[in-house]
Amino acid sequence: MTDQTSNRMWGGRFAAGPDAIMEAINASIGFDRRLAAQDIAGSRAHAAMLAATGIVSDRDAEAIREGLLTVLSEMEAGQFVFSAALEDIHMNVEARLKDVIGEAAGRLHTGRSRNDQVATDFRLWVRDQLDAAEEALVTLLRACLAQAEVGADWVMPGFTHLQVAQPVTWGHHMMAYVEMLGRDLGRVRDARNRMNECPLGAAALAGTSFPIDRDMTASELGFDRPCANSLDAVSDRDFALEFLNVASICAMHLSRLAEELVIWSSAQFRFVALSDRFSTGSSIMPQKRNPDAAELIRAKIGRIFGANVALMTVMKGLPLAYSKDMQEDKEQVFDAADNLLLALAAMDGMVRDMAPDREVLEAAASTGFSTATDLADWLVRVLDLPFREAHHVTGSLVAMAERTGRDLPDLTLDEMQSVHGEITASVYDVLGVHNSVASRVSYGGTAPAQVRAQIARWKEMLE
Ligand code: ARG
């Protein structure tokens, strides 16, 4: 597509067009066409402002605004012919506008530059992604809450080091993810608040001598205010980086939950059954049901965090203001946003559909001497032993049970008393997993009453 003549948008001082390789490395239209709607919205706001301030005539501004809508509808209809010779979305739109409305199109670029234009377009695009992520997170939070509510008092093993540690409730485990995803939601909202300033009107880097009204374009585009420093406005990409940071942390949380779903749905665990809708079969082993969606969600953090590292690396060391390096911001963010939203939707579907198995969870909860801590606490509370001694006594009892292939509640009172003479039959009350979880009533603990209180708090907050 190399244009042998010089570029029609900036080629005034050039005698020849670019080499094909130059065009290939320079053009961003292959990906920044995703900014078309934002570019046209930004240009329409700019044109309205140029008319309101008397910088261009109402007639020309109206022609520009109408023409831009025509260009947009051509794009939406798939009729627009994108040109690599025109480099990017901004010049593709403007060139087509000239075809549609004639010379008046040339007035649109008064008092602005592609530098503030791309910064504005990209902010608008990232803002849309933050809004979509907010909605997806709320949906997923509701799915986790619904799971927590169903099994608020179902017992399951709590793990540390992936070794059975103490019994917890299913509701408590689900609510741990509600807390994590809830912080992700807070980070999304914070990022949106911080980034919602408008670069348009910063022009190339120094502002403009035209009497533009930056408050007008900012408010027209839904920004809270214009960016206060023109150099910063055109060279800041930390709104995109913050999005990638927030997305990375969120993807990391999704990855942890995905890993648990992979483990829990295995034949060795059987804690949950994943639905057919979110499982796949094997082409060779007819018995297989694979948790592919969970595995792919688990993997998404790789590309999302990769995008974060890539853009941080692009931006580090760039002198103010705009450098073409910054064109490399978009593909990373596009890919990360697409994959974060896909992962959130897939996780929502999996969580909504999955069926935890109450009996299996409860049976697993009592394996691995999971109430040994309850026994030690009983020795402290009832017999007034120092905790360290109670720990030691309990360890001996666990060893005795283990030697004989039994669990703690299966030891006789005689056997217990052979380790510590003052133990009484009331010790059996704390050895059951239901008693164990019911006793953990400290704020934020796993007792069903605590879990239900947290569920109620979150339901209210999400209303
Ligand atoms: N396509 C460019 C980008 O994405 C637009 C800005 C170009 N600015 C310039 N001074 N060449 O960064």
> Ligand 1 pocket, 120 CB below 6 A?
no
Whose tokens are 């059987």? That residue is: 270
> Ligand 1 pocket, 326 CB below 6 A?
yes
> Ligand 1 pocket, 237 CB below 6 A?
no
Closest atom, ligand 1, to C-alpha of 88: 1
pLDDT at 420: 96
Strand positions, DSSP E, 30-154: none
Which of 73, 282, 323, 396 is the catalytic position?
Answer: 282
Give the closest residue to 232 by CA, choosing from 325, 317, 318, 320: 320
Strand positions, DSSP E, 349-443: 355-356
Return the best residue to mutate from 88, 125, 330 for the ligand 1 pocket (most ligand atoms within 8 A of CB). Answer: 88
Distance CA(355)–CA(353), nearest Å, equals 7
> Ligand 1 pocket, 114 CB below 6 A?
yes
pLDDT at 338: 98
> Under a CB-based contact definition with an 8 Å cutoff, are residues 26 and 114 in contact?
no
pLDDT at 1: 41
Q: What 3-state DSSP class applies to 358?
A: helix
Whose tokens are 């032993």? That residue is: 385
Residue 434 annotated among the catalytic residues of the structure: no
Name the residue at shortest CA distance from atom 10 of ligand 1: 115
Q: Which residues of 234-252 are buried (b: 16+ CB within 10 A; e: fewer)?
A: bbbbbbbbbbbbbbbbbbe
> Ligand 1 pocket, 88 CB below 6 A?
yes
Distance CA(426)–CA(381), nearest Å, equals 12
pLDDT at 5: 64
> Under a CB-based contact definition with an 8 Å cutoff, are residues 122 and 329 in contact?
yes
> Ligand 1 pocket, 28 CB below 6 A?
yes
State the distance from the centre of ligand 1 to the C-alpha of 168, rounded, in angstroms: 55
Closest atom, ligand 1, to C-alpha of 89: 1
Compute the CA torsion angle 334, 340, 346, 352 (nearest 10 deg): -140
State the distance from the centre of ligand 1 to the C-alpha of 230, rounded, in angstroms: 16
State the distance from the centre of ligand 1 to the C-alpha of 327, rounded, in angstroms: 6
State the distance from the centre of ligand 1 to the C-alpha of 24, rounded, in angstroms: 14
Residue 420 annotated among the catalytic residues of the structure: no
Token representation of residue 124:
């608008």
> Ligand 1 pocket, 29 CB below 6 A?
no
State the distance from the centre of ligand 1 to the C-alpha of 324, rounded, in angstroms: 6
pLDDT at 3: 45
Give the pLDDT means over successive 10-residue stretches in the chain (463 positions).
62 84 94 98 98 98 98 97 96 98 98 98 98 98 98 97 95 98 98 98 98 98 98 98 98 98 96 92 81 96 97 98 97 98 98 97 92 94 96 96 92 96 94 93 96 97 93
Q: Checking DSSP bridges between strand 225-226 and strand 197-198, what pairing results, if any?
A: parallel
Q: Checking DSSP bridges between strand 155-160 and strand 163-169, what pairing results, if any?
A: antiparallel
